[in-house]
Chain A
Amino acid sequence: MAPFPIRSGWWILDRRQLSHDILNHIERLRIMHDLAREQDYSVIKKEELLTDLGETIRLLEANLRELAQ
């Protein structure tokens, strides 16, 4: 029996993609933070920003929970 779990290439690639997605969610949150701090709704309207915020937090949690499995 192997001393550690043997991971397939697909498993590694899936986790890498998941990690990439999580970091993109965080980057998105950082941009939302900057726009909200500056009260800059000239391009992204406030309602759109708040909708994006809810969706991004939902995806961030889902992806992080999956990564933690």
Chain B
Amino acid sequence: MDKIICLGKNYLEHAYEMKEETPEKPVLFLKPPSVLIEPKDKGSLRLPWERGSIHHECEVVFKLYKKNIIGVGLGLDLTLRDLQKKLKEKGHPWEISKTFKNSAIVTPIKGLRDFPKDWQETPFTLRINGELRQEGRLSEARMRADEIIHYINEFFPLQDGDLVFTGTPKGVGPLHPGDLVELTYGPISHSFRLVDLG
């Protein structure tokens, strides 16, 4: 895989909860493939807790082939929120708050035929320790699938196998060691536990 392309502020309610200006179009940033992890179902995952508050951002993820969506999954775009806030306040780039090991979590990618035909209307959820934290539908986003591909193609040379994280709805918040993370979306139901090996 060449790269992971991420959209920020694609859901207005998330932009409002961050109390930040809403740009005319969603913002774009990249994550390198080296931060991608597909945790085993019912497995465990270690995160760098020593680096400060880590926030979850639950997002629909596409896999591309010849600029077509050939599969869909659900992902967590993790953010070192304290670090990101400091960098934003200084007007500095904030990539390093998004590009730590295991900061792009993705479930197995399923073919579109495994989803309902109106898959962009299908709700996706993130539960932490059984509590619903985030719920959304891609149809509620500012840009839907086709528009997203058209938009990112303006700025990045798209390669086969690239992943696209499509932005997060409201409800982002901190994760903690020991949390049980459950992701559901159409045919996808995937869970894992965050651990502290420290």
Report A's interface with B, CB cutoff 8 A: 24, 27-28, 30-31, 35, 38, 40, 42-44, 52
Q: Which of A27, A35, A38 sits near B1, CB closer than 8 Å?
A: A27
Whether B2 sits at the interface, judged by CB under 8 Å, is yes
Q: Are A27 and B2 in contact (CB under 8 A)?
A: yes
Which one, B35-43, B64-72, B84-92, is touching chain A?
B64-72
* Cα A30 to Cα B112 with chains together (Å): 18
A31 contacts across to B, CB distance below 8 A: 63, 65, 70, 160-161
- Across the two chains, which residue of chain A brings its CB closest to B114? A40
Report B's interface with A, CB cutoff 8 A: 1-2, 63, 65-66, 68-70, 111-113, 159-161
Q: Are A43 and B112 in contact (CB under 8 A)?
A: yes
Distance in Å from the Cβ of B183 to the closest Cβ of chain A? 21
- Across the two chains, which residue of chain B brings its CB closest to A38? B111
Distance in Å from the Cβ of B61 to the closest Cβ of chain A? 15
Q: Are A42 and B113 in contact (CB under 8 A)?
A: yes
- Across the two chains, which residue of chain B brings its CB closest to A32? B65
Q: List 7 extra interface pairs beyond A24-B159, A24-B161, A40-B111, CB under 8 A.
A: A28-B161, A38-B111, A42-B111, A43-B68, A43-B69, A43-B70, A43-B111
B160 contacts across to A, CB distance below 8 A: 24, 27-28, 31
Q: Which 10 A-B pairs have the closest CB atoms?
A: A42-B113, A27-B161, A40-B111, A28-B160, A43-B70, A43-B68, A31-B65, A24-B159, A27-B160, A42-B112
